[in-house]
Amino acid sequence: MSVQHNRPNRRAKPYVADLNRLQAECAANYHLLCRLMPEDGEQASWHLHGHGRDMGDVSLKRLERSRYTDVVEVVQGPHWHDWLAPTRMKVRVYHDAQMAEVVAYQSRYAQHGRYEYPNDAMFQPDEKVQLNGFLGEWLKHCMAYGHSQDNPVAGLLSRS
């Protein structure tokens, strides 16, 4: 008596980018950045303190400015550890579309909507969605726990 094993063909389905989710994240990030960045300034700094802990500093710095877009660098670094590298993102801000998209994380540029996995850079298949979601969480955290002496009332990113 022979036993047959019914094993379904388990080929992995290719990852399909969720463009609605990505666009929603980028739109939300735009509005959060606009609230945190001073209207007329090139830079903003926030000190984070919450849950009884000092969580370091976050700085927003405009690196580039053009008619419809800005490039902003977002950096969080604990000021109490010299050995811990700061978290660093470059964000392209599209004023005409009202979206902000992460274009680089820790000096690594993620430009594709999806990646085959594994790949040489070890990007996740949904790397772009994850990075933009992380930026949104980070900005919400700044809104909830950040304190700024330079910018007590945040304004809008200026295009002028």
* 60 in a structural domain: yes
Domain limits at 47?
19-145
In a domain, 127, yes or no: yes
What does the pLDDT look like over 107-141, one tens digit per residue? 777 666 666 777 676 667 677 888 999 999 989 98
State pLDDT tens for residues 1-43.
555 555 555 556 776 768 899 899 999 999 999 888 876 667 7
**Residue 77 — pLDDT band, cuts 50, 70, 90?**
confident
Identify whether 140 is part of a domain. yes
The pair of three-digit structure tokens given for residue 106, joined into one six-digit string: 């820790």
Report how many domains make up the chain.
Answer: 1
What is the per-residue burial (b if ≥16 Cβ within 10 Å, else e) of 116-130?
eeeeeeebebbbbbb
51 within domain boundaries: yes
Query: CA separation (Å) from 77 to 48, 86, 121?
Result: 10, 4, 24
* Neighbouring residues of 14: CB distance < 8 A, sequence distance ≥ 6: none
The mean pLDDT of the chain is 77
pLDDT at 89 over 50: yes
* 126 found inside a domain: yes
Give the model's confidence band at 71: pLDDT under 50 very low, under 70 low, under 90 confident, else very high: very high
Residue 116 lies in a domain: yes
